[in-house]
Chain A
Amino acid sequence: MAINWFKYAAPINFYPLAGKLIPWFAILSALLCATGLYLGFVVAPADATQGEFYRIIFIHVPSSILSMFLYMIMAAYAAMGLIFNTRLSSMMATAIAPTGALFTFIALWTGALWGKPMWGAWWVWDARLTSELILLFLYLGFISLHASIDDPRRADRAAALLAIVGSVNVPIIYFSVKWWNTLHQGSTIKFTGTSMQITMQQAMFTMLAACWLYAMAIALTRVRSIILERERNTQWVAELAEVKQ
């Protein structure tokens, strides 16, 4: 039996699929978030050196991981849209961008909240902070370029090119800023084992999964709206139960 790999690349098929997936992602995300926060704020012990302040990492680390991860995913979808000319990929890229920007903002904000008691300053010009800020600028550039072009197809393609150029530039920016100044503590989780207590680690990974599922649920919700907006003149949208009402 031949599998049609591209079945869900058509908005007409993807729209109901996304509608079915969203509740699952949303419920799972809420459950994991509750578990993660309970583990992180109640079960996990206080840190030896940072006391209770370290608990911000249960929000800070997942959101900063996702802020970078989502940029990659967004750029990948945008590139797919540009190369294969698939409408849905570009819509996905557009749908992911605001969530990515939100996580970048949360990462910066929680970092500032942590920085005040630990470093004695809300903001320091450290490599990771600065590159995270630049990442936020890149997200905003993508969103505003897309928003200022009226023709959606041209907007998709122009924004896609920008996302690709940005993703090529991200490592260059990261290393240039790193050589410029470094104060942020190094990664605790490395591929060669970790120096972290096991409950803390479990709480953090649970929160990471929760944030990831949230990002998927919200991106799919947004892409459904984008599909409706762009395909509003088609027959299948007119026949949808929620449109008919």
Chain B
Amino acid sequence: MKTLFYLLMLVVRRDLILAMRRRADVLTTLIFFVMVVSLFPLGVGPETDMLRKMAPGVLWVAALLSSMLSLGRLFSADYLDGTLEQMLLVPQPLSMLVLGKIASHWMVSGLPLVLLTPVLGLQFDMSIAAIGMLMLTLLLGTPILSMVGAIGAALTLGLRGGGVLLSLLVLPLCIPVLIFGTGAVQAVVSGMNVSAHLSLMGALLVLALVFTPWVTAQALRISME
């Protein structure tokens, strides 16, 4: 038990260090997120009422898209330099290693989106309560995106055109998260109870946490044989 936790921490630490050594990769995803969100007012017009109504959806969709962008990097560097092959050979369960990689991936590409949300929310004239709820749903939702996306990243490992294919595979599976995430914010705005949305998102998070690392490990074994 203790060794498993130690292993998890080791993988998280390693991947965080690697990400910090290549800061540009991390930053591009964030810039992409900000840019996509900023394009919407330019595309649909500057009416504040409409922007306020659209904001949760726009931010969520932008978060989805930018998480798709960063998913390609989840396993590819390790795959190219052979580390992944070594990881398949470790006596400890592969799903634990995968969970560590997903966790550090989320810290690098999901958590910053949550932290950037207040600034972008203010651009769209969202209320403080709505911004708070949006941050909470993104906090619950972006780990699910990373976990479900990891399955797609493992399946498309080393394929030509993998990036586009990855989005094609993963985006439909992420729709429930999008619906409940934006639904919660809209419920707050219209003064309704949000506990149902949040409970469902929590349930999805737990479900994903239990199953996706194992499924991703299987997918990696398929891709690496």
A-side residues, CB < 8 A to B, are 134, 137-138, 140-141, 144-145, 148-149, 154, 157-158, 161-162, 165-166, 168-169, 172-173, 176-177, 179-180
| Stretch of B17-25, B48-56, B173-181 at the chain-chain interface | B173-181
Selected from B172, B179, B222, the residue in CB contact (under 8 A) with A141 is B172
* B212–chain A nearest beta-carbon distance, Å: 9
B151, CB-defined interface residue at 8 Å: yes
* Inter-chain pairs besides A154-B222, A176-B175, A177-B179, 18 sampled, C-beta below 8 Å: A137-B172, A138-B172, A141-B172, A144-B168, A145-B156, A145-B165, A145-B169, A154-B223, A157-B222, A161-B151, A161-B218, A161-B222, A162-B155, A162-B169, A165-B151, A165-B215, A176-B180, A179-B183
Chain A interface, >50% SS class: helix
Residues in A with CB closer than 8 Å to B204 are 172
18 contacts between A and B (CB under 8 A): A134-B172, A137-B171, A137-B172, A144-B165, A148-B165, A154-B225, A158-B155, A158-B219, A161-B155, A161-B219, A166-B172, A166-B173, A173-B173, A173-B176, A176-B175, A176-B176, A176-B179, A176-B200
Which residue of chain A lies nearest to B212 when distances are taken between CB atoms in the complex?
Answer: A165
B2, CB-defined interface residue at 8 Å: no
List CB contacts (< 8 Å) of B55-94 with chain A. Answer: none
Interface pair B168/A140, CB less than 8 Å apart: yes
B159, CB-defined interface residue at 8 Å: yes
Which residue of chain A lies nearest to B162 when distances are taken between CB atoms in the complex?
Answer: A148
Most buried by B among A140, A166, A169: A169
Given contacts A145-B169, A148-B161, A148-B165, contact A180 B219 (CB under 8 A): no
Chain B interface, >50% SS class: helix
List CB contacts (< 8 Å) of B149-206 with chain A. Answer: 151, 155-156, 159-161, 165, 168-169, 171-173, 175-176, 179-180, 183, 200, 204
Residues in B with CB closer than 8 Å to A176 are 175-176, 179-180, 200
Which residue of chain B lies nearest to A139 when distances are taken between CB atoms in the complex?
Answer: B172
Which residue of chain B lies nearest to A154 when distances are taken between CB atoms in the complex?
Answer: B222
B-side residues, CB < 8 A to A, are 151, 155-156, 159-161, 165, 168-169, 171-173, 175-176, 179-180, 183, 200, 204, 211, 215, 218-219, 222-223, 225
The answer for the CA separation of A169 and B171 in the assembled complex, in Å, is 12
The answer for the CA separation of A129 and B92 in the assembled complex, in Å, is 45
* A159–chain B nearest beta-carbon distance, Å: 8
* A19–chain B nearest beta-carbon distance, Å: 32
* A156–chain B nearest beta-carbon distance, Å: 9
Residues in B with CB closer than 8 Å to A161 are 151, 155, 215, 218-219, 222
* A155–chain B nearest beta-carbon distance, Å: 10
Residues in A with CB closer than 8 Å to B151 are 161-162, 165
Which residue of chain B lies nearest to A157 when distances are taken between CB atoms in the complex?
Answer: B222
Residues in A with CB closer than 8 Å to B179 are 176-177, 179-180
The answer for the CA separation of A149 and B173 in the assembled complex, in Å, is 21
Closest 7 CB pairs of A and B: A176-B176, A137-B172, A157-B222, A141-B169, A176-B179, A158-B155, A180-B179
* A109–chain B nearest beta-carbon distance, Å: 19
* B88–chain A nearest beta-carbon distance, Å: 15
* B222–chain A nearest beta-carbon distance, Å: 4
